[in-house]
Amino acid sequence: MKTILFRLLNNGRSDMKVIICGAGQVGWQIARHLSGERNDVTVVDHDADLVRRATDTLDVQGVAGFASYPNILDRAGARDADMVIAATHSDEVNMVTCQVAHSVFGVRRKIARLRSQSYLDSLYSDLYRNNHMPIDVVISPEREVAAAALQRLSATAAFDTESFMDGQARLLGIRIEEDCPIINTPLRQLTDLFSTLRAVVVGVRRDGTLFCPEPGDQLFVNDNCYVFAHVDDVERTMDAFGKKMAKQERVVMVGGGNVGLAVAKELESRATRVRTKIIEKNRKCAEMAAEQLERTIVLHGDGLDVALLSEAGVSRADAMLAVTDDDKTNMLAAVRAKSEGCPYAIALINDPTLVALMEPLGIDAYINPRATTVSSILRHIRHGRVRQVYSIGDAEAEVIEAEVLSTSPIAGQKISDIDFPEGVLVGAVRKGDKVIRPLGETRIDEGDVIAIFALAQDVPEVERLMQVSIDFF
C-alpha cells in the first residue's frame, strides 16, 4: 500500500486535514490524539450530542449528520481533506463513506473500521481495491483484540505486553510486589547488577500517575512499571523482577464469539499443543464455534456458573480468558476463576472507568479494545517512517517504533546528546538485525529502528525528532 507523507514543515506544526467519522470512544480518542498535535480535525456523527461532546472538549470542528451522505462530507471539508477515518458502529456506513470520499471528493487516504468477519475474509480482499471499494487500510477490532489476548497469554506474569522490532523486543507491564528483589534499588544500578540483561525500565505508574523514571529513581511496592526487553531476555527480565513465567498448556475461555474463536484457532495452530476449552452462553454461537474448531472443547452454558467452570477444569487451567461482549460478565468470570484456583485471569474491558477495579478484584490483566483499535489506526497515520504505535493506559502515553532516516534531527547523534523531553525514553535500538539495549553512548544512525516511550504531551516532539524533510521525497 502506498505510503503518503502528510506532514508539511511549518515551524514544527502539522498541516494535515482529517475527517473522523464516528464520535464514539474510538473516534473521540483518535480526534484527541490528532487535534492535540495541531492537525485540522473535523468530527462527523449522526448523534449531535456526541459531536457536541467532541467540540466542547477537543480542539476540533463538528458536523452532525450521516457520514456516508455526500453533502455531510462536503460540509466536513472533504474537498480538501487529506484523510478520512471511518469508525462508526456500522461496517456498511464506513465502507460507503470511504467510497464517497474517494469517488466524489478524491480523498487520498481512507481508513475503515470493519467488524464483520465476512468483510475480512482474505478470499475477498480484492473488494478494497481502488476500482472497487477504495479503502487503503481496514482495521478489525476483533482481530486486534484477539492478537492482544494472545500477547497477554504469552507473558502471564505481566499485566500488559506488546511485541516490537518484528518480534525481537517486548514491552512488559510488570507489577512490583513485596517479593521483588530490586525494590528500593536505583535504576542506574540495574545495569551493574544485570550487566548482560537487555532490558530498560521506560515508564512507572505510581499512585495513579504515569512518568518516565530518572536513573536515580527507585521502584516501590505497588508500582506498575513498563520494561523494554529483548525477546530472548524476557524470562530473565521477569525473574529479575521476581516473576515466574508459566507455560500455557491449559486455557479456559469464557466467550466463543469472534474474539474467542480467533484466539482458539491460533492456539490450535501452534506446534506445542494447548488444551483449550470455551464456555459460550449463546447456543447458536457455541455450535458455530464447535463446527470451526478441531481440538477445542466448546461447552454451552453460563461462564459464571461455578459447576460449568469446574467442568471446564478452570482450577487446573494455567490461564483463563474472559472475552464476552459484556464487561461485567468478563470481570465476574475472571474473579470467579481466580477464586476457583486459576493462577492467571484476563478480562476484556471496554469501559476504561472499570480498569481501576482490576487490581482490587485480583484480576491479573485486561484488554482494552478501544486502546488496541486506536493503536492500530495511529500506526497507519503517524508521520515519517513509523512502523508501530502502541497506546498505554487511557491514551496516557505511546510507544512509537520508527525507522531513522538521514534527514531526521537525531540521525548521527548519541542518545545522551539528543534533546528528548523529560517524558521520553528510548527502550530499544535495532541496528541491522541486532537489537541492543540503548545507552547514553549509543549512536543513532540512519537506517536504525528505535522504540521510544513517550508521555502523551511529548508525542508531537518525538514526531518532530523523527520527522523527515519534505524534500526527502
Give me the phi and psi of 83, to 5 degrees please: -155, 145
- 175 occurs within a structural domain: no
pLDDT for 237: 92
Strands (E), 66-214: 83-86, 109-113, 137-139, 160-164, 169-175, 199-206, 209-211
Give the domain CATH number at 66.
3.40.50.720
pLDDT in tens, 112-144: 999 887 888 777 777 887 778 889 888 888 888
Question: Domain end: 304, 337, 371, which one?
Answer: 371
- 107 occurs within a structural domain: yes
Q: In what order do the strands lie in the sheet with 40-45?
A: 61-64, 40-45, 17-21, 83-86, 109-113, 137-139
The torsion angle over the Cα atoms of residues 408, 411, 413 and 417, rounded to 10 degrees, is 20
Indicate the residue type of 440: G
24: CB partners within 8 A, 6+ apart: 45, 50, 87, 88, 89
304 and 364 in a single domain? The answer is yes
pLDDT for 124: 74
Indicate the helix (H) or strand (E) that contains 143.
Answer: helix 141-154
324 and 376 in a single domain? The answer is no
Which candidate, 252, 347, 255, 258, places its Cα nearest to that of 301?
Answer: 255
User: Rounded mean pLDDT of 45-61?
Assistant: 94
Higher pLDDT, 372 or 301: 301
- Which residues are 63's β-sheet partners? 44
| 438: its cell numbers | 540503548
276 and 337 in a single domain? The answer is yes
Share of the chain above pLDDT 70, in %: 94
pLDDT in tens, 80-113: 999 999 999 999 999 999 999 999 999 999 999 9
pLDDT in tens, 158-215: 888 888 998 899 999 999 988 899 898 898 888 788 888 899 999 999 988 999 999 9
Count: domains in the chain: 3
SS3 helix, strand, coil % of the chain, rounded to 5?
A: 35, 25, 40
- 214 occurs within a structural domain: no
Share of the chain above pLDDT 90, in %: 55
pLDDT in tens, 348-374: 998 878 888 888 898 988 888 877 887
360 and 387 in a single domain? The answer is no
362 and 401 in a single domain? The answer is no
Does residue 418 sit in helix, strand or coil? Answer: coil
- 169 occurs within a structural domain: no
Rounded to whole angstroms, the Cα distance separating 415 from 426 reads: 8
Question: Domain end: 139, 169, 190, which one?
Answer: 139
Its domain, for residue 286, covers 250-371
362 and 385 in a single domain? The answer is no
- 217 occurs within a structural domain: no
264 and 339 in a single domain? The answer is yes
